[in-house]
Amino acid sequence: MSILVTGGAGYIGSHTCVELLNAGYEVIVVDNLSNSKKEAINRVEKITDRSIKFYEMDILDQKALDLIFKANDIDAVIHFAGLKAVGESVEKPLLYYRNNITGTLSLLEAMSHSNCKNIVFSSSATVYGMNNISPLTEDLPLSTTNPYGTTKMYIEHMIRDTYHSDNNWSATLLRYFNPIGAHESGTIGEDPKGIPNNLMPFITQVAVGKRDKLSVFGNDYETHDGTGVRDYIHVVDLAKGHLKALEYTLNNKGVEAINLGTGTGYSVLDMVHTFHHTTKQPISYEITARRPGDIATCFADTSKAKQLLNWETELTLEDMCRDSWRWQSRNPEGY
């Protein structure tokens, strides 16, 4: 069975390609390498001893997508390709709307032309906005606080409307919580450009000596130690969740939004302390002001994923810290 993976050279995409190849799927990747390197694909091939058909291409180029669907017998698409930096999306909203929304439109049209109507889409817990109380269930009202989040919410609507117009479509909208960690080989991982926005890559860059200290954004939240609480999930567990979602999508028509998280929240200071005791790397930090737009607590209700996908996370916070550190320490400059 052949799966088209858009954005397959990226952080979550590359880990998902490993799981797909190990499970025996044929993998075709389309990526414009705007936030990744071809080396990630080479390393996935090395880990799995399998090959990937790679197209360096923009999903906005619908004619090229049509040709890919013509040249390959594609059974389903896993759609990761998109821009994901919240701050940048506030500065350049049109770039985000064009890349993420028009890119997905182009993909859905190409899928429609070729009669491939099975899609797993990378959504985000960001669609729950600021007002819902954790644990977050999939039926809560959606809202967003930045253009990045809005693109995810609109794409969910676009996919639902597509199904309503043609019930032959089958789509799973995966709402990820906070993916961290890396493949246990230490050869693929998250490779952010510039100063990391997210917590774990910042911690590992402090540990490796690239940054002086972590700024902890606020210690006056209503949480057990005052710092923000999130649902961190190992990227390999997340990748395995995609395989379960793919099977579900191939076997059921309709559209389902499903959370992928562990269901447990950890604070920023829990992360700093667990990283230290797991890797023996102390992390210097200072408490600074809250980051605008942040919420106190965000974690998943995971019952729908258990029920529909028969999927649960297996890896611990210690595994996440150890594997993030193995990747960073062996690849201090990324790929």
Please give the distance of CA 201 from its chain centroid, rounded to a whole number: 14
CA torsion angle 86 92 94 95 (round to 10): -80
Q: What residues between 83 and 142 interact with ligand NAD by CB under 6 A?
A: 83-84, 99, 103, 122, 124
Span interacting with ligand NAD, options 76-84, 108-116, 254-262, 310-318, rule CB under 6 A: 76-84
Cβ at position 167, least distance to ligand NAD in Å: 26
| By the rule CB under 6 A, 294 interacts with ligand UD1 | yes
CB nearer to ligand NAD: give 88 or 287: 88
Q: Which is nearer to ligand NAD, 154 or 226 (CB)?
A: 154
Binding segment (CB under 6 A) for ligand UD1, from list 37-45, 90-98, 133-141, 193-201: 193-201
Q: 7-46: b or e for each residue (b if 16 or more CB lie within 10 Å)?
A: bbbbbbbbbbbbbbbeeebbbbbbbbeebbbebbbbbbbe
Which residue of this chain has its Cβ atom nearest to ligand NAD in the complex? 10
In the list ligand UD1, ligand NAD, none, the entry touching 215 (Cβ below 5 to 8 angstroms by class) is ligand UD1
Least CB distance to ligand UD1 at residue 270 (A) = 11
Q: What is the amino acid identity at position 142?
A: L
Question: Does residue 126 belong to the site contacting ligand UD1 (CB under 6 A)?
Answer: yes
Q: What is the DSSP letter of 59?
A: T
- DSSP per-residue string spanning 296-311: SEE-B--HHIIIII--
Q: Among residues 177, 180, 157, which one has the least CA distance to residue 255?
A: 157
Q: Identify residues 273-292 at the interface with ligand UD1 (CB under 6 A).
A: 291
Q: Is residue 215 part of the contact set for ligand UD1 (CB under 6 A)? A: yes
- If binding is defined by CB under 6 A, does position 17 make contact with ligand NAD? no
CA distance 24 to 37: 24
* Interface with ligand UD1 in residues 85-124 (CB under 6 A): 86, 124
Q: Give me the catalytic one of 148, 176, 221, 266.
A: 148
- Alpha helices, H only, 190-234: 199-207
CA distance 47 to 317: 23
- Which one, of 335, 261, 245, 308, lies nearest residue 19 by Cα? 245
Cβ pair 267, 225 in contact under 8 A: yes
Binding track over 27-66 against ligand NAD, x by CB under 6 A: ---xxxxxxx---------------------xxx------
Q: What whole-number distance in Å separates Cα of residue 141 and Cα of residue 121?
A: 19
- Is residue 131 packed enough to be buried (19+ CB in 10 Å), middle (13-18) or exposed (0-12)? exposed
Q: Which is nearer to ligand NAD, 176 or 248 (CB)?
A: 176
Per rule CB under 6 A, count of chain residues that contact ligand NAD:
27
Is residue 19 involved in binding ligand NAD (CB under 6 A)? no
Contacts of 2 (CB under 8 A, 6+ apart): 25, 26, 27, 28, 72, 73, 74, 75
Compute the CA torsion angle 95, 100, 106, 111 (nearest 10 deg). 170
Identify which of residues 105 and 250 has a Cβ nearer to ligand NAD in the complex: 105
Between 124 and 172, name the residue whose CB sits nearer to ligand UD1.
124
Determine whether 148 is an active site residue: yes
The residues that are catalytic are: 148
Binding site for ligand UD1 (CB under 6 A): 86, 124-126, 149, 178, 197-199, 202, 214-217, 228, 230, 268, 291, 293-294, 298
Query: What are the residues binding ligand NAD (CB under 6 A)?
Result: 7, 9-13, 30-36, 58-60, 80-84, 99, 103, 122, 124, 176, 179
